[in-house]
Structure 1
Amino acid sequence: MRIAVGEDDVLLREGVTRVLLGAGLDVVASTGDATKLLAMTLAFRPDVVVVDVRMPPHHGDDGLRTAIEVRKRLPATGVVLLTQYCEPEFAIDLIGDRPQGVGYLLKERVGDVDDFAAAVKRVAHGGSALDPEVVTRMLRPRTVPSELADLTDRERSVLACMAEGLSNRGIARALLISEAAVEKHVTATFRKLGLAQLTDGHRRVQAVLRYLAAQGP
């Protein structure tokens, strides 16, 4: 079984590599850069890619975007996100409409090397390996205020960051997405809230006021 590893923390990358090698797996590629990881994966075509969400070159959600691209271009290759962020939306984005061959594991909970190696093998064979906390959050009922019902989960997350006073750059860092993605979500939010015709500064204020009003007392 052939594995590619993407992790920008050198010590963690070496640790993951040693665990996988100790489990009898063949690590054919290892890098701390998401762009290089995609190139290596396309070249070596491993059975599984183990990758962090936040990686160079942009230190945003580069690893996640690489994982999604691998899923598109190499359907037979499994992908395991190994991350410190418990974000159900990341798992949903990765799974898409094909739950086979996907893993989402939190770094803080990967303490049992045998369990970790078993999870990687399970994903390689078309199974799934989702951290229990991620699953719990995905299944937890969420009541969405009617005023915000037209917004997507990501748009509501962006709006919540706006309410905290974050700039687009700050929102991008907080949500691990690009500034371009933030701008797209902000524009869509303004449109859905009927604020498209106002000036930009006024739109942000009005959007935040509507968000806060929707949260109730």
Structure 2
Amino acid sequence: MLFGLVACGDDDPAPRALSSLVLGAEYLPEGFAVAPADVTSLIGGNRRTLEQAASVTFAPAECRPTADEAFSPLMTSDNTALLVAEAASATLSEVVSSVRRDIDADRRATTGRCRVVEARPTRGTLAGARIVTTSSELPSPSSEAVEQGLVVRSESVTTLTDGKVRVRSALLANLLLRRPHGEVVTVQITVASANTNTSSAAPKRIEPPMSEADFLRLVDDAVAHAEN
């Protein structure tokens, strides 16, 4: 009888590895190709970004982003998987991690009173610049596996100390996804423009790195791929 119980348990599939939950190359939008990337480099880059952010002032002050401060330091190569893909004018990344992200903190920093935020770095190459970021919330995936989600489009206009202007646009999804065994993973998908050129003035319209419809389909694909 005991043997029979053990055998039934063996038929229960083990949870999939995190590395199998990120999208494969076949899911990438046209024009994107997988690029070399590793979690260790991601962690190092996040740490430097957080160090630089400590010297940035935000207005309104309560709109200082805090989700990354709690999320990034807990990431390791064992609890996080990464995909990076590049196109001529944009970079796509997907992070899947067993570290639970504070989506409420993301929402507080990008919606409502914080829909438009001004940041002023006081150190580094952007010291003295004025960065205005405007965020617009997009529909979250409707899958029942999504415990919580926030999808936004952001546009930033950076005015440098010499008066020149640099603009960037990004589409970002942060999701808490419940897996079949009950575990919850964070899925973060970002597509950001690669434009680093400067001009004398900001354009009347900042073009996104891909259409909102295409990005929402990409997010749906990521959820469907990771939820089963």
Instruction: Name the TM tier (shorter chain).
Output: under 0.3
TM-score, with structure 2 as normaliser: 0.24
* Higher relative helix content: 1
* Higher relative strand content: 2
Q: Which has the higher contact order (CA 8 A, sep 6+)?
A: 2
TM-score, with structure 1 as normaliser: 0.25
